[in-house]
Each structure stands twice: as structure tokens, then as C-alpha cells.
Amino acid sequence: MTGVRPPGRGTTAVVPLRDGVSGKSRLAAVLDGGSRRRLVRVLARHVVATLLAADGVGRVVVVTADPVFTRETLAGLEVEVLEQPAGRPGLNGALEHAREVLTARGPGPLLVAHADLPALSPADVVALLATDAPVVVATDRYGSGTNLLLLRAGDAARGAFRFRFGIGSLAAHLAEAEARGLEAVVVDRPGTSVDLDTADDWSQLPDEVRAAVGQQVPGLL
Ligand SMILES: Nc1nc2c(ncn2[C@@H]2O[C@H](COP(=O)(O)OP(=O)(O)OP(=O)(O)O)[C@@H](O)[C@H]2O)c(=O)[nH]1
Ligand SMILES: C=C(OP(=O)(O)O)C(=O)O
């Protein structure tokens, strides 16, 4: 993508983004396909723009099985798009691929951020980066999942840490850190805890966030 920031100092943020058709399936009962696709775009643009605006983030890389949709979705934003190989399916496979590519380029902390965090602010990102631990997990509103994961452990430890996104991923990531002798800190902030997967998640968002997203996605307001 044009206008990509050169590799430099700071944390590299990695945003996984599914293809243009299958995401946000849990909202299928309340939103048609076109609106779900639009929602994926609005949320992804918000998360990427927020990361780019946060002090301490050097670069944003999006890993996806659908680079055409992703480039179109993120047009005008300074991101690099990495294509997820077919042999690396699923969210964890996508992240392993991104980590391999980035580690081959050089050392440095990695911040994984899901592309569906409508309330995420630059201050949330700065707060995560200010947390002094080799592994930092921002959990979801149930205290059971992982919405952002910061790995600033040294290269060997960072490379060996298994991504375990999915049901119960907070406990899985904490266990992973413990198994590798890495201190892990859990962060729980209003801006990091709501990933928009269900109508109930929607109801938990502040009014101003719902107004901003709802204006752009028919059917949500
Ligand atoms: N590259 C990539 N990203 C994924 C994949 N699965 C999920 N993601 C991304 O990972 C983040 C969390 O996704 P989920 O909430 O599990 O899935 P979703 O598509 O948003 O919603 P559901 O269809 O309801 O599960 C979002 O940024 C997704 O776009 C995948 O297989 N590959
Ligand atoms: C992938 C995860 O959650 P969700 O599918 O709810 O986004 C997770 O919490 O690891």
C-alpha cells in the first residue's frame, strides 16, 4: 500500500482481518450481508486509525486472507497489508505468519489488536504500551477473551509464545506466558474491552460510539 511508514522505532501493531464476506457472522440475525461488510470496514478503519494516532506505535501491519478487500477497506491509511497463506488458516495462523515475517525483518515489540474494537482510543493504546511487562493482555468484557496482546519479550521468547486466540484465550495466554517464564499483566479498560460481535456488545457501547458507528452502518441505529 502506498504511504507505508518505514520500519523504525516503536511497537509494530498487527491487526488480523478476515475476508470481506464471512466476518461478523454473529450479527447475521440483525444485519444483512452488505451492512455486516460495511461494519467490518468501519471498525477496521477505526482501529487502524487509532493505532496510527497512538504515540509509541511505529507501524501498522494488517494480516488478511483477502488483500483486495483489505486494501480497499483501508485506502488512505498508512498500513502494510500482509497476505495470509492458505497453509496458515484461522486467526492464530494469520498471526503466526505475520510474526514470522516481521521477526525476519528485525527485533521489536508486537502489539496484536483485533479489528473490531469500536471504543478503542489512542490513550488506551498508550496505556497498554506503558505497562511494564513482557506480556500484556487486554481482555474482553467477560474477562475471558483477548482483544489486544502485547509481546515485548525478547525475540526468542516472543517467537516461541503460541497465539491461542479463541474461546478462553485470556487464561490460555496467561498459561502460555507462565509456561515460558514470562510475567504477564492483564489490562481491562472500557476502550479495550468491547469487541463488537453481538447485539448485546452493541448495547454496551457508550452513546457517542454508537452514534459514530451507527451513522455509517445502516440497520445499527
Ligand atoms: N486474518 C484473519 N483474521 C481473522 C480470522 N478470523 C478472525 N479474524 C480477525 O480476528 C479478529 C477477531 O475476530 P472474531 O471476533 O473472532 O471474528 P469476526 O469475524 O469479527 O466475527 P464472527 O464471525 O462473529 O466470529 C477480527 O479482527 C477478525 O477480522 C482469520 O481467519 N484470518
Ligand atoms: C478471538 C477471540 O474472541 P472473539 O472471537 O470474541 O473476538 C478471543 O477472545 O481470543
Q: What residue type is 198 in one-letter code? A: T
* Mean pLDDT, residues 197-212: 96
At 144, list the grid cell: 475471558
Average pLDDT, the chain: 93
Residue 120 and residue 191 in contact, taking contact as beta carbons nearer than 8 Å: yes
Residue 219 lies in a domain: no
3-state secondary structure of 188: coil
Ligand 1 pocket test, pick from 15, 18, 142, 192 with the greatest ligand atom count within 8 Å of Cβ, gives 18
Which residue matches cell numbers 498508512? 78
The domain containing residue 126 runs over which residues?
11-205
* Chain-centroid distance, C-alpha 206: 20
Helices (H), ranges, 8-160: 33-53, 67-73, 90-105, 122-130, 155-160
Residue 4 lies in a domain: no
User: Based on C-alpha coordinates, what's the Rg of the chain?
Assistant: 16
Q: What is the pLDDT of residue 221?
A: 83
**How far apart (Å, rounded) are the C-alpha atoms in residues 46 and 179?**
34
Nearest CA to ligand 2 atom 9: 145
Q: Is the CB of 84 under 6 A from ligand 1?
A: yes
Which residue matches cell numbers 457517542? 208
Between the CA of 92 and the centroid of ligand 2 the distance, in Å, is: 11
Asked whether the predicted pLDDT for residue 72 surpasses 50, the reply is: yes
Share of the chain above pLDDT 90, in %: 85
Residue 142 lies in a domain: yes
Asked whether the predicted pLDDT for residue 192 surpasses 80, the reply is: yes
Between the CA of 12 and the centroid of ligand 1 the distance, in Å, is: 20
Residue 84 lies in a domain: yes
ipTM of the modeled complex = 0.98
Residue 21 lies in a domain: yes
Q: Which ligand is nearest to the CA of 194?
A: 2
Residue 165 lies in a domain: yes
CATH number at 66 reads 3.90.550.10
* Mean pLDDT, residues 31-37: 94
Q: Is the CB of 139 under 6 A from ligand 2?
A: no
Between the CA of 90 and the centroid of ligand 1 the distance, in Å, is: 8
Residue 220 lies in a domain: no
Phi-psi region of 90 (alpha: psi -120 to 50; beta: other; left: phi over 0): left
Nearest CA to ligand 1 atom 20: 24
Count structural domains, the chain: 1
Residue 217 lies in a domain: no
Q: What is the pLDDT of residue 2?
A: 42
